[in-house]
Amino acid sequence: MSMSYEKVEVPAEGEQITLADEETGELNVPENPIIPIIYGDGIGTDVGPATQKVLDAAAEATGRSIAWMRVYAGESAREKYDENLPEDTVTAIREHRVAIKGPLTTPVGAGFRSLNVALRQTLDMYANVRPTYHINGVPSPVKSPEKMDMVTFRENTEDVYAGIEWEAGTDEVEQVRSFLEDEMEVADVIHDGPVGIGIKPISEFGSKRLIREAIDYAIAQERDSVTLVHKGNIMKFTEGAFRDWGYELAEEEYGDEVITEDDLWEEYDGEQPEGTVVVKDRIADNMLQQILTRTDEYDVVATMNLNGDYMSDAAGAQIGGLGIAPGANFGHGRCLAEPVHGSAPKYAGEDKVNPTAMILSGREMLDYLGWKDAADLVRDAVEETISSGTVTYDLHRQIEGGTKVATSEFADAIVENIEKLS
């Protein structure tokens, strides 16, 4: 393991997190771990330091400390090192296993790949995890936002998002068209004239490792159910296979710990036995209705890339939107926490925006470390702060009364509440 970085600020103290068990991905977490942090672009320089302050307070209140390792990507990396994503950044995150990042602007122009996608792919972070739960005091467009407490596991590497597609009018797309029509006997489906074609790979390997991550999470967090969301009624061999592989995995790897919804009714009369997780499935369009009408029946959700993108945004809107929505990417024994929102360049450096999304992403990271007490403290302190009416501009304009504070002041108020609550 190399610890000689040139383009990284190595902390003076702190110990490295290591893998404890190759098979399960379990980690050895010291009480003073080194954790890489990318502040990110635009408002990243506002929400990054605010998050650090809050996580430091939560670690300290629970008898620990975090040794931050500043690493660079995006604009800050271009300014300092004249490159978008230094190899050292990727290596540091890979070697330290658990990291947090703010938003990165996707540079506009030919040849620029999204840095976020590059990071997730290089580190093989195959699960994008989006918790959606309501924080008391946050304005919401629905009547009972508190009914939502769902964690979406979105597959991150496959599906129509894999980037296998050809542009209309190119030789390549015509080759694909001829292959389909002449060799695969696809007749009378593709209209004559210009057409773009994309491919949707859904593999057993990709599906099972994602669903395994979701079931393991449900067991560890004592959640009741995992719902497989798919359009298998139409896309039988891709989305339908995802569902089938999910049930197969549940049966093969989890024994009595995981039961199906059919078992629940046929064997247990609808009474879920203590300590079990129920695996069920829903068609994606129906699921978008269900999260509005039967919100509290859903817990952990496992789904493919495109469904997951739509669903987690819809669920996020129910609990207050972008300033609040946290996220994380999981790989095997790896976690890269990041808020759902982007770099909102027009507010950059104004000490104005809401750091809650990145702070709650930090909470996911603490949970991943196994620091549940610190993670809960962060959530409770955020809730205490917002419900007392101390909020940033975005929430202030939606509530009556309340005190509008800057990003940094909001973080200070959360730190005070951490000290009070601990």
Per-residue binding letters, 355-394, with ligand NAD (x by CB under 6 A): --x------------------------------------x
Residue 299: count of CB within 10 angstroms of its CB: 18
Q: What is the DSSP string of 43-73?
A: THHHHHHHHHHHHHHHHHHTT---EEEEE--
Per-residue binding letters, 112-141, with ligand NAD (x by CB under 6 A): ----x-------------------------
Residues 44 and 103 sit within 8 Å (Cβ to Cβ): yes
* Annotation says 161 is catalytic: yes
Placement of tokens 């496992």 in the chain: 302
Please state whether beta strands 258-260 and 334-337 pair in parallel, antiparallel, or not at all (unpaired). unpaired
Number of residues that bind ligand NAD (CB under 6 A): 18
The residue (of 239 and 394) whose beta carbon lies closer to ligand NAD is 394
* Annotation says 147 is catalytic: no
Q: What is the DSSP string of 275-343?
A: T-EEEEEEEHHHHHHHHHHSGGG--EEEE-HHHHHHHHHHHHHHTT-TTT---EEEETTEEEE--SS--
| Contacting range for ligand NAD; rule: CB under 6 A; set: 10-18, 102-110, 130-138, 368-376 | 102-110
Contacts 24+ apart (CB under 8 A), 255-259: 257/219, 258/215, 258/219, 258/226
Please identify which residue in 246, 323, 333, 362 interacts with ligand NAD, judged by CB under 6 A. 323
Active-site residue, selected from the candidate residues 309, 313, 373, 376? 309
Residue 226 CA to residue 179 CA, distance in Å, equals 39
Active-site residue, selected from the candidate residues 21, 224, 262, 285? 285
Task: Report the candidate in 51, 47, 100 with the shortest Cα–Cα distance to residue 71.
Answer: 100
Please identify which residue in 152, 354, 361, 390 interacts with ligand NAD, judged by CB under 6 A. 354
Question: CB 103 → ligand NAD: shortest distance, Å?
Answer: 4
Helix (H, G, I), strand (E, B) or coil at 24: coil
Please identify which residue in 341, 362, 366, 385 interacts with ligand NAD, judged by CB under 6 A. 341
| Residues 30 to 69 in contact with ligand NAD, rule: CB under 6 A | 43, 47
Question: CB 62 → ligand NAD: shortest distance, Å?
Answer: 26
* Annotation says 368 is catalytic: no
Nearest-CB residue to ligand NAD?
342
Task: Report the candidate in 329, 337, 386 with the shortest Cα–Cα distance to residue 364.
Answer: 337
The catalytic residue positions are: 161, 231, 285, 309
Q: Which residues bind ligand NAD (CB under 6 A)?
A: 43, 47, 103-106, 116, 322-323, 338, 341-344, 353-354, 357, 394
